Amino acid sequence: MPPTNSANEIAAWFVGNIDRDAGDSITHLKLQKLVYYAQAWSLALRGAPLFEEDLQAWAHGPVAESVYKVYRGAGWDALPPPEQVPEVSAEVAEHLSSILATYGDFSAKHLERMTHSEAPWLEARGNLPLEARSSSPISKDLMGRFYNDLYERVDDEERAA
């Protein structure tokens, strides 16, 4: 199934759906990681991307360049709520809510460290030093396989327990 949303729509959904009343906030760095994990788990569990754009293996982890262009001005500050939260299908909203519930409590730097330890980002970076600039695309195929394998391992462990 072809993607019906853009990376920026997925990003704006996250920015618009954090629980500000509970004191939650989101930075650009954290937003990029949530967009990455949303795409990765969609590829693994739904067998389809949420958006067409390739994520790139930047020094601070995966980045959707179009999202970077929109939010780069915020630096390390919390992002303000969007003027309008984009409409997504019920299936996509459920998926994004699950990603937010799973990864939303982690700090941006913790999420960065997680992505730095996982095969899709590592393979796209190759032998580059950690701080080196890169626009190498992260393979959607590898993302899907890596997170599907992770899901199956966790599922097997839970059944064995």
Q: Is residue 1 part of a domain?
A: no
Residue 144 tokens, joined? 């899907």
CA angle 123, 51, 118 (to 5 degrees): 25
Instruction: Please indicate, yes or no, if residue 90 is contained in any of the structural domains.
Output: yes
Q: pLDDT in tens for each of the 161 residues of the chain?
A: 667 899 999 999 999 999 888 889 999 999 999 999 999 999 999 999 999 999 999 999 999 999 999 999 998 889 999 888 999 999 999 999 999 999 999 999 999 999 999 999 999 999 998 889 999 999 999 999 999 999 888 766 666 65
**AA letter at 26:** I
What angle is formed at CA 106 by the lines to CA 124 and CA 130, rounded to 5 degrees?
30
Can you tell me the distance from the alpha carbon of 34 to that of 80, in angstroms, rounded to the nearest whole number? Answer: 16
Structural domain of residue 15, as residue ranges?
A: 7-160
Q: Distance of CA 158 to CAs 40, 106, 155, Å?
A: 21, 23, 5
Total-model pTM = 0.93
Q: How many domains does the chain have?
A: 1
Q: Is residue 2 part of a domain?
A: no
